[in-house]
Structure formats: structure tokens, C-alpha cells
């Protein structure tokens, strides 16, 4: 089966580069499944998981926002943060989730509520992706 070279990059450096048969991710507009030879595309991504399939295996990476760029021979994801499932510190994500939930219960300014919701979203996403770690 043909493959497409896929890289995930953050401001801290590259997180992953490998060949995959299919890459699925969650754009602001909905789910995308990218196969080799896909037409060029740029799409903003949600805080979500990127699922990368090769030879019956699926690798999972948690991304916090960013952009997907598709070219026929290459997929690039530029994300603010990205962690492979095995690299996620579950205790840290659980602590972040608790902190965010506590902040959401407190009556505070709107900005803090939005930031707490975003932090909660990131933590829930990391915990979901970490659950796929083998």
C-alpha cells in the first residue's frame, strides 16, 4: 500500500516523522482522513488526536491546535504542542484537569473561565490519547 511522509512539528521541535498509509485528524470544520496523493489543503485543527495508520497499527498524537498542511507527497502538522501517546504524563494531565475544573467552579472573570475551559480541553484530550498507549 502507498504511504505519505508525515511530520508533526511544534515550536520546541519535531515530534514525529514517518510514513503512513492514512492520517486522520480533527479540523475546525470536521473530521479529515488523508490518503497518499490527496489534493493540497490547509486546515486549522482542533485540540484533538491525530491518528496515523500503518500496517494495521495506529499511532496516536495529542495536538493542541495548529494547522494541517497536505501536499500530494507530504503531510505536515504544525501544532502549538504535540505529544505521542506514550510520552504523555497521565498524572500531570489529571492534575491539569482537576485544576481547570476547580477554576471553572470558582466565580471568576470571563477570560479566566475561557482559559480554564481551554486547559480542561487540553487535559481531557491528553488523557484520551494516553489511553491508546501500549
> What is each CA distance from 28 to 31, 43, 48, 67, 104, in whole angstroms?
8, 8, 10, 10, 24
Question: What is the total count of residues that contact ligand ATP (CB under 6 A)?
Answer: 13
> What is each CA distance from 79 to 10, 49, 94, 106, 118, in whole angstroms?
5, 11, 22, 30, 15
- Closer of 51 and 126 to ligand ATP (Cβ): 126
Interface with ligand ATP (CB under 6 A), residue from 8, 93, 116, 129: 93
Q: ∠ CA 81-35-88 to the nearest 5 degrees? A: 25
Please report, as residue ranges, which positions from 46 to 85 form the binding site for ligand ATP (by CB under 6 A): 64, 81, 83
| Residue 89 Cβ vs ligand ATP, minimum distance, rounded to whole Å | 4
Q: Residue numbers of the site for ligand ATP (CB under 6 A)?
A: 12, 64, 81, 83, 87-89, 92-93, 96, 119, 122, 126
Amino acid at each position: 500500500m502507498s504511504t505519505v511522509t508525515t511530520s508533526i512539528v511544534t515550536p520546541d521541535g519535531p515530534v514525529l516523522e514517518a510514513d503512513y498509509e492514512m492520517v486522520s485528524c480533527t479540523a475546525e470544520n470536521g473530521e479529515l482522513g488523508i490518503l497518499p496523493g490527496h489534493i493540497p489543503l490547509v486546515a486549522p485543527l482542533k485540540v484533538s488526536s491525530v491518528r496515523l495508520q500503518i500496517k494495521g497499527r495506529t499511532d496516536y498524537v495529542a495536538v493542541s491546535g495548529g494547522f494541517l498542511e497536505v501536499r500530494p507527497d507530504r503531510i505536515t502538522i504544525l501544532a502549538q504542542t504535540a505529544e505521542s501517546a506514550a510520552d504523555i504524563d497521565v498524572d500531570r494531565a489529571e492534575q491539569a484537569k482537576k485544576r481547570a475544573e476547580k477554576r471553572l467552579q470558582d466565580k471568576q472573570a470571563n477570560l479566566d473561565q475561557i482559559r480554564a475551559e481551554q486547559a480542561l480541553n487540553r487535559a481531557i484530550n491528553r488523557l484520551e490519547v494516553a489511553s491508546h498507549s501500549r
